[in-house]
Amino acid sequence: MKIEGRAYFLRPDTPKEGIVREARPGETEDELSDPIRDQAKDANLIMRPPRVTPNTMYALEATEFAQQHGKFLEFHHAAYEAYWTYRKDLGDLEVLASVAESVDLDSTELIKHLESNKLTSTVTEQYQQALNAGIRGIPTFLVGNLLFTGAHPYEIFESAMSRVLNSDEVS
């Protein structure tokens, strides 16, 4: 089995500099509002309210760069931590360079890719493919031929993997 990340713009109209994020009702300085707060706690995840909603083009391109260098999951986890734990702006090149370095990626090469838009068409094509497939939210998972969107309990993923591994779908 292979895990592959694909780009999806949740808010494609976000300006390049991002948007200052206003606190939502029920949030505290360190916790999101329900139901996300409880879901994060149940999953042992830290999800602090971010200060900025970033334009995610650079982050998606950086993720694709990491994937092309065999570091998708490592980069994805490090970017998650930078954003949700430390409230870093994933639209900032310095932040992405730091995330890349933390997973032993060449940050200089990454920045060159980002500044030259080398991966923009790849990311844009992935987003268009998602829209064409009817995907309208994140996270969306394709496990075998099972497609599901949203945060789900671990048991759902376990069941989906079991179904795929025990079927004729695995090649």
Distance CA 62, CA 68 (A): 10
Domains contained in the chain, CATH given: 19-133 (3.40.30.10), 139-171 (no CATH)
What is the pTM assigned to this prediction?
0.87
If we measure between CA atoms, which residue out of 30, 52, 53 comes closest to residue 40? 30
The answer to whether residue 169 scores a pLDDT higher than 60 is: no
Q: What is the mean pLDDT of the chain?
A: 92
Residue 171 pLDDT level (bands cut at 50, 70, 90) = very low
- Give the per-residue pLDDT at 61: 98
The answer to whether residue 4 scores a pLDDT higher than 80 is: yes
Distance CA 46, CA 80 (A): 9
